[in-house]
Amino acid sequence: MRDGVQQRDLPSVRQDVAKVAETEEAGPVRSGEPLLLLVRETIAHQVHGGERALWHGRRERISYSSCNEDSACESRALLPGPGQRLFCVTAGGGRVLDLVADGPDEIWAVDLNPSQNHLLELKAAGIQELSHAEYLGFLGVRPSPDRLAAYARLRPRLTEGAQRFFDGQPRMLKAGVLYQGCLERFLAHVIVPLVRLARPFWVRRLMAATTIEEQRRLFRGPTTRLWRALVGNLCRRRFFAWFSGEAGFWRYIPAEIPLHTRVVSNIFGHLETHLARDNHLVSLIFNGRYTNESALPAYLRPEPFARIRAALAHTRLRLITGTVGDALHQAESHSFDGFAISDISSYLDDVSYRDVFEQVVRTGRVGARLCSRGILYHRELPAGCARHIRREVELEREFARHDAAMVHAFLVGELQ
């Protein structure tokens, strides 16, 4: 136990946290095939209400079905490998699978939204059951004549909870689940048509540009009034609040940071030096789908796909529905080698935020790696935690410049 960072020892909490509400093993698999070493758990929320209160999800729905970030950053920061036990926020599941590719012994994938974990199960089962081409067809990257038939093949690998969820979502499965999250549907049905209306052909030219010079010219070319109105308003707090069913991600961004201007300038600034065609999130924003297969997130590309498939035979996935704070309270001290805490700051009140990092410090081994993201801004490490984490500021800056999500601030470091 590190100085000043203790396992929560309030009797009522310890008692309740010990109560894991559900534990489910993944469904039966046919003999001779690699096992999906997957356990599902739901932790009753016990510690305090802050995290749950800030989650606006009332019913089970997938908020993020793709992975918007470039988990190359997490992989570089965490240096995953055999013998390790990692902790990762599930979200779209891509980041977890990208970490699995390097064959750690165990990953805890945690999300307070149960459907994000259902989705991760589905993606993992698909990697095990389908060929790479079938997988891209099933998820929706490529056309596919019968996604429900593919689902029927991988369904036995899912836990009952995930089966129940997807059995009730035939339209989502038929459409290709990768683009059916709330964010992805918003991009496809609102942003894409508006941008096309505002600047016809612009997106096509942007995605076709093969040099930075060519791309820069597109940003400097003549615009329309509608385009200027869109660029001027789409990233305002009020607009985000209107469409987002999630906690406002700007909640803890200091008022002096002009959210709208910074989001737009981060994206356009990124595209001054990075080709749009190489960025899967840009493709999602402007096309509503991935259009360049060579720039897919890693778990969708053939080589990582094969490594993930091999690793899933021995990497144990522990999928936990609950808050990061509660999940970490379940863990033994000094038991994790790495933490990927992606972009949950806006869901955490101050007490929960402090609790999460205190638990990271308590449960991380000496030398454990940490990669945490926040949109535009990362809240300071809570007092008492900073001295346990040696920050790697150069890496943080490099990630902020090159990460595909374009708008994240990073906290990267090593526990000491």
Sole binder of ligand SAM in the list 46, 65, 68, 315 (CB under 6 A): 68
Q: Does 69 bind ligand SAM (CB under 6 A)?
A: yes
Q: What are phi and psi of 38, to 5 degrees?
A: -130, 135
Query: In the numeric block, which tokens belong to residue 196?
Result: 């096309």
User: CA 169 to CA 34: how far, in whole Å?
Assistant: 27
Sole binder of ligand SAM in the list 5, 41, 63, 126 (CB under 6 A): 63
Sole binder of ligand SAM in the list 65, 75, 113, 279 (CB under 6 A): 113
x/- map, 289-328, ligand SAM, by CB under 6 A: ----------------------------------xx----
Radius of gyration of the chain (CA): 21
Nearer Cβ to ligand SAM, position 116 or 291?
Answer: 116
| Contacts of ligand SAM in 197-236 (CB under 6 A) | none
Sole binder of ligand SAM in the list 343, 392, 396, 403 (CB under 6 A): 343
Nearer Cβ to ligand SAM, position 166 or 249?
Answer: 249
- Residues sharing a CB contact under 8 Å with residue 387, sequence separation 6 or more, in sequence order: none
x/- map, 73-112, ligand SAM, by CB under 6 A: ----------------x-xx--x--------------xxx
Sole binder of ligand SAM in the list 46, 65, 84, 116 (CB under 6 A): 116
Q: Between β-strands 389-391 and 38-43, what pairing exists: parallel, antiparallel or unpaired? A: unpaired
- Residues sharing a CB contact under 8 Å with residue 320, sequence separation 6 or more, in sequence order: 40, 41, 42, 43, 108, 109, 110, 111, 117, 327, 330
User: CA 155 to CA 162: how far, in whole Å?
Assistant: 9
Residues that contact ligand SAM, how many (by CB under 6 A): 22
Please report, to the nearest 10 degrees, the dihedral formed by the alpha carbons of residues 279, 280, 285, 286 taken in order: 70
Nearest residue to 311 (alpha-carbon basis) of 41, 107, 70:
107
What's the min distance (Å) between Cβ of 271 and ligand SAM? 19
Contact criterion met (CB below 8 Å) for 110 and 89: yes
Q: Does 120 bind ligand SAM (CB under 6 A)?
A: no
What's the min distance (Å) between Cβ of 148 and ligand SAM? 26
Sole binder of ligand SAM in the list 51, 98, 106, 358 (CB under 6 A): 51
What's the min distance (Å) between Cβ of 323 and ligand SAM? 4
What's the min distance (Å) between Cβ of 131 and ligand SAM? 25
What's the min distance (Å) between Cβ of 339 and ligand SAM? 12
Q: Where would I find the H helices in 364-408?
A: 393-402
- In this chain, which stretch among 59-67, 135-143, 231-239, 264-272 interacts with ligand SAM, using CB under 6 A? 59-67
User: CA 396 to CA 381: how far, in whole Å?
Assistant: 14
Residue with smallest beta-carbon separation from ligand SAM: 91
What's the min distance (Å) between Cβ of 327 and ligand SAM? 7
- C-alpha angle 386-411-409 in degrees, rounded to nearest 5: 135
CB count within 10 Å of CB 224 equals 13
Q: Does 355 bind ligand SAM (CB under 6 A)?
A: no
- C-alpha angle 325-326-327 in degrees, rounded to nearest 5: 95
Exposure on the CB side of residue 190, measured as CA atoms within 13 A: 13
Contact criterion met (CB below 8 Å) for 102 and 81: yes
Nearer Cβ to ligand SAM, position 150 or 285?
Answer: 285
Sole binder of ligand SAM in the list 87, 138, 202, 347 (CB under 6 A): 347
User: CA 223 to CA 251: how far, in whole Å?
Assistant: 32
What's the min distance (Å) between Cβ of 328 and ligand SAM? 10
What's the min distance (Å) between Cβ of 251 and ligand SAM? 12
User: CA 66 to CA 50: how far, in whole Å?
Assistant: 26
x/- map, 322-341, ligand SAM, by CB under 6 A: -xx-----------------
Report the interface residues with ligand SAM, using CB under 6 A. 51, 63-64, 67-69, 89, 91-92, 95, 110-113, 116, 323-324, 342-344, 347-348
